[in-house]
Amino acid sequence: MNFGDKIKTLRKEKNWKQEELANEIGTDSRQVSLYENGKCLPSVETIVKIAQVFNVSIDFLLIDNSPRRPLILSNENIYESINKVDLLSLDEKESIFKIIDGLAYKNKLKKVLAEVE
């Protein structure tokens, strides 16, 4: 998905019109339309504003197939813990990632089951 498709998807998730996004980032709806249709790219400052408005990482916006991550982590301890992963051996890193994947999958299943009920 390219930059324009991503901001269009994010905007629609919030049920915003182009004008509403434009107001949030300090531009007009015509400019948002140009971004969404791939006619032009915004300035670095505007990209930062878009990332802040949608709380997504800048790499998610700019790099195809980049995973969607929040711009601002809700818990500073998470950031500190993630940085400590570099201190682990390769086997320990793989174990941590398997645990995280397993817990995430478990919670995803719980959410799906709750929606079905």
Q: In CATH, what number is assigned to the domain containing residue 27?
A: 1.10.260.40
Of 5-9, 82-86, 94-98, 104-108, which one has max mean pLDDT? Answer: 5-9
Q: How many helices (H) and strands (E) are present in the chain, helices listed first?
A: 7, 0
Statement to judge: residues 10 and 56 lie in one domain: yes
Answer whether residue 14 is part of any domain: yes
Statement to judge: residues 7 and 30 lie in one domain: yes
State the angle between helix axes of 3-13 and 18-25 in degrees (0 to 180), rounded to the nearest 10: 100
Q: Nearest CA to 61 among 16, 107, 25?
A: 25
Statement to judge: residues 54 and 88 lie in one domain: no
Mean pLDDT of the chain: 90
Residue type for 75, please?
Answer: N
Mean pLDDT of 25-31: 95
Mean pLDDT of 73-89: 77
Statement to judge: residues 27 and 54 lie in one domain: yes
Answer for the pair 51, 57: CB distance below 8 angstroms, yes or no. Answer: yes
The distance from CA 97 to its chain's CA centroid, rounded to whole angstroms, is: 20
Residue type for 35, please?
Answer: Y
* 76 vs 57, residue with greater confidence: 57
Statement to judge: residues 54 and 80 lie in one domain: no
Statement to judge: residues 47 and 84 lie in one domain: no
Answer whether residue 44 is part of any domain: yes
Domain enclosing residue 99, as ranges: 76-116
Q: Considering its fold, how many domains does the chain have in total? A: 2
Answer whether residue 69 is part of any domain: no
pTM for this prediction: 0.63
